[in-house]
């Protein structure tokens, strides 16, 4: 049975409008209409804050090595996947050769076509790969990226010509 006031349960005749509005449920309905500008802002967004429309990208470049497209400031995804696959192979060979023992010396990865007689490799652990060096890995990757601090305090200033 519907929960109605006692006055409505007793009467069998049609209820008056006042009794209907006393029992009714208020719905969440806006009191005022939204302006056209606000409706457009909700639908499309505001360009300075949050713009919902699709905007064409103007910072797309082509990779110089493989020719695929990528955003400026981001590594080409195809070249990155090649490098990632090569580094996984290197990690597998290093884990296979060195095992789980701690490595306290530098590890150098040598490919088939690398020169093994350099003094650079003395005192370092050598891991050999059974394939030629890929073109994406050049020789300067064998050098350390960090440099030792210099003792001298001399600074050479080169004037810029305008």
CA distance 76 to 87: 16
β-strand pairing of 50-51 with 45-46: antiparallel
What whole-number percentage of the chain has pLDDT above 70? 76
Q: What is the pLDDT of residue 160?
A: 60
What whole-number percentage of the chain has pLDDT above 90? 29
The pLDDT-based confidence of 156 (bands split at 50, 70, 90) is low
- Assigned token pair, 136: 């994406």
Mean pLDDT over all residues of the chain? 81
CA distance 82 to 76: 10
Q: What is the pLDDT of residues 90-141, one digit of tens each?
A: 999 988 988 877 778 888 888 888 777 777 777 788 888 899 888 877 666 6
Q: What is the pLDDT of residue 77?
A: 94
Model-level pTM? 0.55
């Amino acid at each position: 049975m519907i929960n109605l006031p006692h006055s409505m349960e007793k009467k069998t005749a049609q209820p008056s409008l006042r009794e209907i509005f006393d029992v009714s449920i208020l719905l969440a309905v806006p009191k005022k209409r939204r302006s056209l500008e606000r409706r457009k802002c909700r639908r499309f967004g505001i360009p300075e804050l949050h713009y919902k429309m699709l905007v064409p990208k103007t910072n797309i470049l082509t990779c110089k090595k493989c020719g695929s497209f990528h955003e400026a400031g981001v590594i080409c995804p195809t070249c990155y996947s090649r490098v990632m696959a090569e580094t996984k192979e290197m990690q597998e060979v290093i884990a296979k050769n060195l095992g789980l023992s701690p490595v306290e010396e530098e590890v150098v990865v040598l490919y088939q076509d690398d020169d093994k007689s350099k003094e650079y490799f003395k005192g370092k652990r050598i891991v050999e790969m059974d394939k030629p060096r890929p073109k994406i890995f050049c020789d300067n990757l064998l050098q350390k990226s960090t440099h030792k601090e210099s003792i001298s305090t001399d600074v050479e200033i080169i004037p810029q010509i305008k």
